[in-house]
Structure 1
Amino acid sequence: MAAALHLNGLCKAFGKTEIIRGVELEIAKGERHAIIGPNGAGKSTLFNLITGRFPQTSGTISLHGADLAGKAPHEINRMGLSRSFQITNIFGNMTVFENVRCALLWSMGYKYSFWNLLDRSRALTEGAEEILEQINLTERRNLPAGVLSYAEQRALEIGITIAGGADVIMLDEPTAGMSHSETDYIVDLIRKVTENKTLVMVEHDMGVVFGLADYISVLVYGEIIATGRPEEVRANPKVQEAYLGEVLEADH
């Protein structure tokens, strides 16, 4: 069976500056995989390469065995990969329900048929309501998304991310800027909505990483220096020296 996501010799340079340097990574279907590393390690660049926002300089990226080279972000999304961003990306003036419904349009066959009367589509309405229930925002469905709390907006963005039915979900710093209680809420939500899906996340909060991830990869200066189960990565001397020791000290 092909890996959900496979990076082979992946490199990215901007001019003469190498940001991603020969990354090898295989993520199995249904796995929850965290990518950690210091600021400037290339984590966001790696996400942008995988999702088609940047073209790779060399190497390959495959999704369920299909080569992603030259694919635009929307094409990759339709192949079953969806992502969120560090900065919340929602339509603040639209209601919570309308945000989710918009995200469902393509996957439910509406595409560019804007003349359809969306309010009369029972399947579309039921699909949106099902996602709202999953992300615990049913009671907020008629509010403008912009008035939600920060954690609720992140929850809505996760709902939008999963709305297209993607089986590979990429989350970029899903708990950034949150309080402990907000973080607990989002971690529980991520665990629930990614059940039976493949999760790839970038995250700085080690409590979140060790609580959610089946496997962890450590990216330092554009190279993966270790991949393994959380306990293996925590005990790895190279990881402690390059990154993890400093982070764990800072958390105390």
Structure 2
Amino acid sequence: MTEPAIRLRDLRKNFGRTEIIRGVDLEIGKGTRHAIIGPNGAGKSTLFHLISGKYEPSGGQIFLHGEDISGKLPFEINRQGLSRSFQVTNIFPRMSVFENVRCGMLWSAGYRYAFWRLVDQLRDLTEESERILEEIGLADRRDIPAGVLTYAEQRALEIGITIAGGADVIMLDEPTAGMSRSETDQAVELIRRISEGKTLVMVEHDMGVVFDLADKISVLVYGELIATDTPERIRGNKAVQEAYLGTAEEAEEMADA
């Protein structure tokens, strides 16, 4: 049996006496696109923070490719092949678009803390950075400060930084939030391309994006998973409809919106 990319076992997170994540068990298969949905306050971002190491679990275990990463620091988890984006765009606004992407791959390219090296002379780094800029559609914006990009372009750049380190597990937290429909459509195609052959985990409120991209969907309500299944079965799941999607007809409309 193939080891899942991510496995959560009785995962819990308390803030004081308030229990936010309540015994979550979940397996996310290698090479799949997995969406986590649920109402506001369900604990989706907290779950992301636990998996990526920003928060330490109050109980339970987190496994990445079969290795227990519970309580490890974010940079340690990143070096084991997991990279994530955030709800709020997280870039270096005064650096060029190209420099942002290049910074994202320094460690994985083996340059670590060799400050004596002149990065402009590292041809392999330059070529790979330019390849990523082509992939995310920002090659023609290469030399401008990242802070002057449009909002949608900044989100695309953050995705580029996320994949720059070569991680095989990518986590995207509301990647299309605040975008117009045309921008969302472009973002979906970008996410589809960059996640090919990788494991994608995303939190997303736009059900059109979720049902378009996801192979599996997990529904989190008040810190508990109430269902994990294919998009079609989630759409017709009565417990999910009652807790989040509404009727089957409403779920259809949300997915098609």
TM range (shorter): over 0.9
**2:235 counterpart of 1:245:** no
SS in 2 for 1:56: coil
In 2 relative to 1, CA 191–120 (structure 1 residues): closer, same or farther, beyond 3 Å? same
User: What is the letter of the counterpart of residue 21 of structure 2?
Assistant: I
* Cα distance in 2, alignment partners of residues 70 and 238 from structure 1: 33
SS in 2 for 1:155: helix
Q: What is the match of residue 139 of structure 2?
A: 138
In 2 relative to 1, CA 249–195 (structure 1 residues): closer, same or farther, beyond 3 Å? closer
How many residue pairs get aligned? The number is: 252
* Cα distance in 1, alignment partners of residues 116 and 56 from structure 2: 35
State the identity %. Answer: 69
Q: What is the match of residue 98 of structure 1?
A: 99
User: What is the letter of the counterpart of residue 11 of structure 1?
Assistant: R
Q: Deviations over 1:201-241 (max 9, x none)?
A: 00000000000000000000000000100000000000000
SS in 1 for 2:19: strand
* Cα distance in 2, alignment partners of residues 86 and 65 from structure 1: 27
Shift, 1:53, TM fit? 0.6
Shift, 1:248, TM fit? 4.0
Q: What is the match of residue 188 of structure 1?
A: 189
Q: Deviations over 1:46-99 (max 9, x none)?
A: 000001111101111000000002210000000000000000000111100000
Shift, 1:114, TM fit? 1.6
5+ residue gaps in structure 2? none
SS in 1 for 2:158: helix
TM-score, with normalisation over the residues of structure 1? Answer: 0.98
Point out the more displaced range, 114-123 or 231-240: 114-123
**2:87 counterpart of 1:86:** yes
User: What is the letter of the counterpart of residue 110 of structure 1?
Assistant: Y
User: What is the letter of the counterpart of residue 178 of structure 1?
Assistant: M
Shift, 1:142, TM fit? 0.6
TM-score, with normalisation over the residues of structure 2? Answer: 0.96
* Cα distance in 2, alignment partners of residues 107 and 249 from structure 1: 42
* Cα distance in 1, alignment partners of residues 252 and 101 from structure 2: 40
Q: Deviations over 1:88-144 (max 9, x none)?
A: 000111100000011110011111112201111101100101111110111110111
* Cα distance in 2, alignment partners of residues 228 and 235 from structure 1: 11
Maintained 8 Å contact 2:235/2:252: no
Shift, 1:15, TM fit? 1.1
**2:117 counterpart of 1:116:** yes
Which stretches of structure 1, 4 residues or more, deviate above 3 A after TM superposition?
246-252
* Cα distance in 2, alignment partners of residues 31 and 210 from structure 1: 14
Q: Deviations over 1:14-54 (max 9, x none)?
A: 11110000101000000100000000000000000001111
* Cα distance in 1, alignment partners of residues 181 and 251 from structure 2: 17
Maintained 8 Å contact 2:36/2:203: yes
Q: What is the match of residue 219 of structure 1?
A: 220
Q: What is the match of residue 173 of structure 2?
A: 172
* Cα distance in 1, alignment partners of residues 70 and 245 from structure 2: 33
Q: RMSD over aligned Cα, in angstroms?
A: 1.2
SS in 1 for 2:246: helix
**2:78 counterpart of 1:55:** no
User: What is the letter of the counterpart of residue 92 of structure 2?
Assistant: F
Shift, 1:2, TM fit? 1.1
User: What is the letter of the counterpart of residue 36 of structure 1?
Assistant: I
SS in 2 for 1:218: strand
* Cα distance in 1, alignment partners of residues 211 and 64 from structure 2: 25
* Cα distance in 2, alignment partners of residues 28 and 230 from structure 1: 15
* Cα distance in 2, alignment partners of residues 207 and 173 from structure 1: 13
Q: What is the match of residue 129 of structure 2?
A: 128
SS in 2 for 1:201: strand
User: What is the letter of the counterpart of residue 227 of structure 2?
Assistant: A
